[in-house]
Structure 1
Amino acid sequence: MADTSLPRFPPRRGLGRTGFTATAVGIGDVADRTVPRAELVATLARALDAGLNVIDTAPGYEDGLSEEVVGEALRGRREGVFVIDKVDVLDAPVAPQVEASLARLGLPSVDLFALHAVRSLEQWEAVARPGGALEQLEACVAKGRARFKGISCHHPDALVAAVRSGRCDVVMFPLGPFVDARYVEEVLPLARERGVGVVSFKTFGAGKLLGDTEGYGRPLQARPRGKVSSGGEARDTPVLPHLTVAECVHYTLTLDPDVMLMGMGFANEQDAALHAAAAFRPLDAAGLRTVRERAREAIQGKGEVWWNPPSPEAVAG
């Protein structure tokens, strides 16, 4: 019986020039080796049941477990789902990595392979040179291992060069309350102008905006806490500022990527994220500014912000 506790998400618009009509929300990494595989598969299937039709994975997500879970969840329901996988090692032969990923997925092909975590303009230039990773990936596409190609990237300059090259069908990059302004002001409009699909991530700032973490559940090395008295007994409570799920989701959807990826490995995470997305109303300029200001406060003291190039003026606002 279908789970009726989640809102339904119909396909919204084309993903760049791919011809695929995507939902506004996509399914991010769901791998967690502390959770039984059957539970991970069921949680992913629950998101698919809600209509989400874009799913992202990579070999490095829990050492291949994510790909295996995605493949299992898609058995019997592959049609109508846009599957994104990654090439993690950019200075190693691409074809063996592609074949290994497809084997873990149990699929003959995916919709998109992206070169993963391109971190600088220099790295983009290296992968784009003759014989480099991008040319090797293009050969894999020509052999039918994927329909499209692109990059996942943590540097606006590299993204601008990638979009202008005409060699990427989709670009994946950070969009959310705490990102470098150039992602929003330069990369996003350029991709739209050139018909390149945009898939965003870092809606929650790797979890930093929602909780006291250095990212993806890693505890803070120095965790500020305050004392709260309850029933005559003192107890510790976090004192760092946080944003809400709805603030992060509504901010990112207001920026309007083709697809906003969110990690939703547990049912309660899905409930919060998808109900927030279903209740979306665009924020006005003042609302965007307020969320950015609160995000700037919430991320302080929580470690490296690796998705933003180091710059004193890096963050939008």
Structure 2
Amino acid sequence: MSTPTLPRFTPRRALGRTGFIATPVGIGDIADRAVPRASLVATLRRALDAGLNVIDTAPNYEEGLSEEVVGEALRGRREGVFLIDKVDVLDAPVAPQVEASLRRLGHDGVDLFVFHAVSELSAWEALAAPGGGLAQLGECVRAGQARFRGISSHHPEVLRAAVGSGLCDVVMFPLGPFVDPRYVEDVLPLARSRGVGVVSFKTFGAGKLLGDTEGYGRPLEARPRGKVGSGGRVDREAPVLPHLSVEECVRYTLTLDPDVMLMGMSQPNEQDAALGAAHAWRPLAVEELAQVRERARSAIDGKGAVWWNPPMA
């Protein structure tokens, strides 16, 4: 049976001061070692065929597999695609990490390198210090290995500092039905006012909002049924908890209006659901946003740590 044709996406607006006109939806991490590599490449190219023009990868996504797949999928079609890669080790020299990523990609340069998961103020301050990681990444930009630099973060205060510093062209952070309100009410408008591009993630709350998982496909521990089976064994069953739909998560996040909303789509059926919802999107009203937030609160309860929402100071 043939795979259905995806809806067509067109570029919408500039990704901050980069000037790149990006589609509202981007391709997140597609690495999955349980899936044949050729299938991953074909799935990524299918998204490119649908017009998506932003791709995100990182060295630690399946130990380099993601970079290799992205690099292969982009051979012969690199032009017109905004490629994001990451520097994973924040306190190590930057240049060797950039060079290793470019080797795995098989391309001479990317559009944006970001420091990955800069989620403590002390880590940001070290990167921003004279001679620190951002200065080193600036040398890579001057060498033509990237065009822009930035950070991804799971901490609103780090993001405020990064946007205000003038050192970041793009910031990446969580936006979705269950995120710290500071990302929406503080960081997002600040980035817009400073011309800093915004790429969002956690649309589905690391999968917690859609299924019974601690995140990224790790199932919740089975719970006792409350009766003892044969041999004195306590029978256990998988928990059944509230969920949101793909459409609700996508509509919510697009209503918040990041420049680009990343979604992981390693299988064609995942693409069908996510991109179908994005293409049919219409903004949610204020009361609808509140209803989805309330349902998300129930859907994520009992599913482990929400690491992207740091405690309020």
TM-score of the two chains, using structure 2 as the length reference: 0.94
Q: Superposition RMSD on alpha carbons, in Å?
A: 1.8
TM-fit CA distance, 1:50: 0.4
1:146 is paired with a residue whose SS is: coil
The aligned residue for residue 152 of structure 1 is: 152
Cα displacement (A) at 1:275: 0.3
Aligned residue number for residue 172 of structure 2? 172
Looking at structure 2, the residues matched to 196 and 61 of structure 1 have their Cα atoms a distance apart, in angstroms, of 25
Amino acid of the structure 1 residue aligned with 2:164: R
Q: CA deviation at 1:237?
A: 6.8
Distance in 1, Cα, partners of 2:106 & 2:247? 35
**For 1:68-89, what per-residue CA distance to the aligned partner results, in whole angstroms no more than 9, with x for missing partners?**
0000000010000000000000
Distance 1:4 1:40 in 2: 17
Amino acid at match of 1:250: R
Q: How many residues align?
A: 304
Q: 3-state SS of the aligned residue for 2:147?
A: strand
C-alpha contact 1:31 1:62 (8 A) present in aligned 2: yes
Match of 2:219 in 1: 219
1:260 match: 261
How far apart, in 1, do the equivalents of 2:164 and 2:277 lie? 34
Where do 1:76-115 residues align within 5 Å? Answer: 76-115=76-115
Moved over 3 A (4+): 222-226, 235-238
Cα distance in 2 between the residues matched to 1:179 and 1:66? 26
Aligned counterpart, 2:198:
198
Compared CA separation, residues 300 and 4, structure 1 to 2 (3 A): closer
Mapped partners of 2:120, 2:283: distance in 1: 32
> 2:52, 2:27 → 1: CA distance?
7
CA distance in 1, matches of 2:96, 2:238: 49
In the alignment, does 2:245 pair up with 1:244?
yes
**Aligned residue in 2 for 1:184:** 184
In the TM superposition, residue 239 of structure 1 has moved relative to its aligned partner by 2.2
Deviation at 1:225, TM superposition (A): 7.5
- How do 1:126-145 residues align onto structure 2 when only pairs under 5 Å count? 126-145=126-145
SS in 2 for 1:117: coil
Cα distance per residue 1:142-189 (max 9 Å; x no partner): 111000000001100000000000110000000000000000000000
Displacement, 1:310?
A: 2.2
Q: Do the aligned partners of 2:220 and 2:238 also contact (CA within 8 Å) in 1?
A: no
Q: Deviations over 1:192-250 (max 9, x none)?
A: 00000000000000000000000000111345879xxxxxxxx9674200000000000
> In the alignment, is residue 67 of structure 1 matched against residue 82 of structure 2?
no
Q: 2: distance between equivalents of 1:11 and 1:244?
A: 26
Q: Could you tell me whether the CA contact under 8 Å between 1:25 and 1:261 is conserved in 2?
A: yes
- Point out where structure 2 has 5 or more consecutive residues left out of the alignment: 227-235
Q: State the 1:191 CA deviation.
A: 0.4
* 1:276 counterpart letter in structure 2: A
Q: Map of 1:36-51 to 2, 5 A cutoff?
A: 36-51=36-51
Residue of structure 2 equivalent to 1:208:
208
1 CA distance for matches of 2:121 and 2:253? 25
Instruction: Give the CA deviation at 1:121.
Output: 1.7
Alignment of 1:29 with 2:13, yes or no, is: no
Residue 298 of structure 1 and its aligned partner are, at CA, apart by 0.5
1:248-297 CA distance string (max 9 Å, x none) = 00000000000000000000000000000011010011000000000010
Structure 1 residues not aligned, in runs of 5+: 227-234
Identify the residue that residue 280 of structure 2 maps to in structure 1.
279
Contact preservation (8 Å) 1:85, 1:112: yes
TM-score (norm 1): 0.93
Structure 2 counterpart SS, 1:144: coil
Measured in 2, the distance between the counterparts of 1:209 and 1:236 equals 20
Change (3 A) 1:123 1:193: same
| Percent identical residues | 78
SS in 2 for 1:150: strand
